[in-house]
Amino acid sequence: MSFEVPEDCRYLDSHEWVRRRDGTVRVGISEFAQDELGDVVFVELPAEGEHLTHPDQFGVIESIKAVSDLYTPVTGTVTATNDNLRDAPELVNEDPFGDGWMLEIEPDDHSTVEDLLSPAEYREQIE
């Protein structure tokens, strides 16, 4: 099976993705990760304003199969969380790179995004 790996994202070994936005990065989990988890039933996210440190855990995702930790891709401050996931965690399964995003972070150092896996490197990892 072939999974979507958008070219405008960078990735962690633990299957989180990062997409640059205006001054922030948006974070979620990859199509591969949501497929491995199965139906997502709950997502626990940090509060806006919380300072996160890479590579620490930032939250938890729970599915019918497993509970998994979510890891911080870049050190920085949470500027937004996807409140829709509270009532509709299945958005992670339906649209992992779109409506299923999890949080936005204002990185302390924007260049650290480049240290993450490229789409080609991530594709190699999941094939």
Percentage of the chain beyond pLDDT 70 is: 100
pLDDT 10s digits, 30-70 = 999 999 999 999 999 999 999 999 999 999 999 999 999 99
pLDDT 10s digits, 65-118 = 999 999 999 999 999 999 999 999 999 999 999 999 999 999 999 999 999 999
Provide the residue ranges of all domains of the chain, joining segments of one domain with +.
Answer: 9-108
Model pLDDT, residue 28: 98
For 17-72, the DSSP string reads: EEEE-SSSEEEEE-HHHHHHH-SEEEEE-PPTT-EE-TTSEEEEEEESS-EEEEE-
CB-based contact 25:102 (threshold 8 Å): no
9-108, which class in CATH? mainly beta
Position 1 pLDDT exceeds 90: no
